[in-house]
Amino acid sequence: MRALTWHGTGDVRVDTVSDPEIINSRDAIIKITSTAICGSDLHLYDGVIPGVKPGDVLGHEFMGEVVETGLGSNLKKGQRVVVPFTISCGGCFHCKQQQYSACDNSNPVEKQDMSATLYGQPMSALFGYSHLTGGYSGGQAEYVRVPFSDVGPIVIPDHLDDDQVLFLSDILPTGWMGAENADIQPDDTVAVWGCGPVGLFAIQSAIVMGASKVIAIDHYPNRLALAKQLGAQTIDFRETDVREALMEMSGGIGVDAVIDAVGMESHGFAIDNMIDVVKQKVGMGFDRASALKQAILAVRFGGKVSIPGVYGGMSDKWPLGAMMEKGLQIRGGQTHVQKYTEDLLAKIEDGTLDTTFLISHRLPLEQAAEGYKNFKEQQNEWTKVILKPGMEN
């Protein structure tokens, strides 16, 4: 089959690789109809996530048609499904508590040691996202093997097209959980750093959850315009002193909740961020956390900090004093996708949530490398890229 494979920093190619097969009984094979490039794929593209190997098939936002099932799968051939990016067994302690992205059993044993050393306990598995999270082949391909196919995939009714539901795989539930982790109350002012796809969905979710005011922070005019279109107020951080502005826009209190939808490669001209850029380049640290540091200083005493943005390693010059003295609640984590898919599918069907507004480009799979390059380098215009393996070149 044809698949997008990683070869090094800034080097991804569509290659011919072996077709996936059923290995375990609960597996299914899906023929991909739509697959997206995620903002977090750019961390792989930029080489800042450890444990990626040349030849790895990327992609963790995908959907398609069931073409083969193992004996333990409850899917049927011909069904259209969206597959969560988190691989979860459904039977362990964490899955039983709906902490699907902390599944004990999806990351192969021999792959668990690296993350257990980094984080104290091993990570769960994700599709197409380094060997730290299992080394599973991803969905930017013609076909994909889906383990535990009786727990993850959600069957899609025929009247919804791919563009409406594809983002149930990751960015929609990730934005939703980002807002949920901010524990939004009706009178809250919520600030969201980053108007990429996850930030935009976090903004939309915060509004649906009833926040009184949502403030979006970015510097790309087109992305800020999308946030405005959703009903958010906006701050361009290149034009404005963000902390000063947030204090004023929250009536001198500080914002009630902050959401960091930027993650480990945040922009910023502060001196500590420039040092972090250098360290990341030479492999001495992974995370540039300037957005998150700014968020922790902007949030009010007793406020809430939600981190859907991806971080992988360590950060120094951490505002530990602010975190403790202000009595903050801090929540992060990979998304428990399976917990949200059913509810969010219903919200798409009844029109509460629209997921199509941010799609800027649809490309054949063969042009995936071009998609990565433009999504990284032209962030103003390229807001979200969908790859279609079946599309004519």
Partner 1 sequence: MDHKLRTGAGLSGIVLGAGALAFGAFLSNRHRNRGQDNSPNYTKRQPEGDHAQVGRSVTIRKPRSELFTYWREFQNLPGFMENVEAIDESGADGVFTWKIKAPAGRHVDVRTEISSEKQGEHIAWRSVEGSDIATCGEVRFKDAPGERGTRVSLVMSYDPPAGALVRAVANIFLREPQVQARHDLKRLKMLMETGEIATSVRTRGETRAAKQETE
Residue selected from 4, 6, 14, 26 as contacting partner 1 according to rule CB under 8 A: 26
Strands 329-332 and 299-307: parallel
Site for partner 1 in 131-150 (CB under 8 A): 134-137, 145, 147-148
Residue 129 within binding range of partner 1, rule CB under 8 A: no
String marking each residue 65-84 x if it binds partner 1 according to CB under 8 A: -------x------------
Identified binder of partner 1 from the candidate list 8, 23, 238, 253, rule CB under 8 A: 23
Among 15, 65, 68, 104, binds partner 1 (CB under 8 A): 104
Our CB check for partner 1 shows the closer of 96 and 159 to be 96
Write the secondary structure of the chain as one string of H (helix), E (strand) and C (coil).
Answer: CEEEEEEECCEEEEEECCCCCCCCCCCEEEEEEEEEECCCHHHHHCCCCCCCCCCCECCCEEEEEEEEECCCCCCCCCCEEEECCEECCCCCHHHHCCCHHHCCCCCCHHHHHHHHHHHCCCCCEEECCCHHHCCECCCCECEEEECCCCCCCEECCCCCCHHHHHHHHCHHHHHHHHHHCCCCCCCCEEEEECCCHHHHHHHHHHHHCCCCEEEEEECCHHHHHHHHHHCCEEEECCCCCHHHHHHHHCCCCCEEEEEECCCCECCCCCHHHHHHHHHHHCCCCCCECHHHHHHHHHEEEEEEEEECCCCCCCCCCCCHHHHHHCCCEEEECCCCHHHHHHHHHHHHHCCCCCCCCCCCEEEEHHHHHHHHHHHHHCCCCCCCEEEECCCCC
One of 21, 316, 342, 343 touching partner 1 (CB under 8 A): 21
Q: How far is the CB of 137 from partner 1 (least distance, A)?
A: 5
Q: Give just the sign of the alpha carbon dihedral 342, 344, 347, 348.
A: negative
Cβ 122 to partner 1 shortest distance, Å: 8
Choose the stretch contacting partner 1; rule: CB under 8 A; options: 89-97, 280-288, 303-311, 369-377: 89-97
> Applying CB under 8 A, which part among 12-20, 173-181, 218-226, 269-277 lies near partner 1?
12-20
Count of residues of this chain found to bind partner 1 when the rule CB under 8 A is applied:
35
Counting contacts by CB under 8 A, is residue 24 touching partner 1?
A: yes
Task: Check if the beta carbon of residue 70 is closer than 8 Å to that of residue 28.
Answer: yes
Q: Could you tell me how far CA 150 lies from the centroid of its own chain?
A: 23
Neighbour tally for 366: CB within 10 Å: 15
Does residue 109 bind partner 1 (CB under 8 A)? yes
- Cβ–Cβ contacts within 10 Å for residue 122, how many? 21
The β-bridge relationship of strands 143-146 and 233-236 is: unpaired
User: Which one of 90-98, 166-174, 190-198, 210-218 is the stretch in contact with partner 1 (CB under 8 A)?
Assistant: 90-98
Kindly state the smallest distance separating residue 150's Cβ from partner 1, in Å: 10
* Shorter beta-carbon distance to partner 1: residue 26 or 361: 26
> Segment near partner 1 (CB under 8 A), from 6-14, 23-31, 165-173, 318-326?
23-31
Closest separation between CB of residue 145 and partner 1, Å? 6
* Closer residue to partner 1, CB minimum distance, 151 or 190: 151
Binding mask 39-68 for partner 1 (x = CB under 8 A): ------------------x-----------
CB of 244 to partner 1, least distance (A): 48
Closer residue to partner 1, CB minimum distance, 107 or 266: 107
Residue 19 or 241 with smaller CB distance to partner 1:
19
Q: Does 89 bind partner 1 (CB under 8 A)?
A: yes
30 in contact with partner 1 (CB under 8 A): no
Can residue 18 be called a binding residue for partner 1 (CB under 8 A)? yes
Name the site residues for partner 1 (rule: CB under 8 A).
17-21, 23-26, 57, 72, 89-93, 96, 104-113, 125, 134-137, 145, 147-148
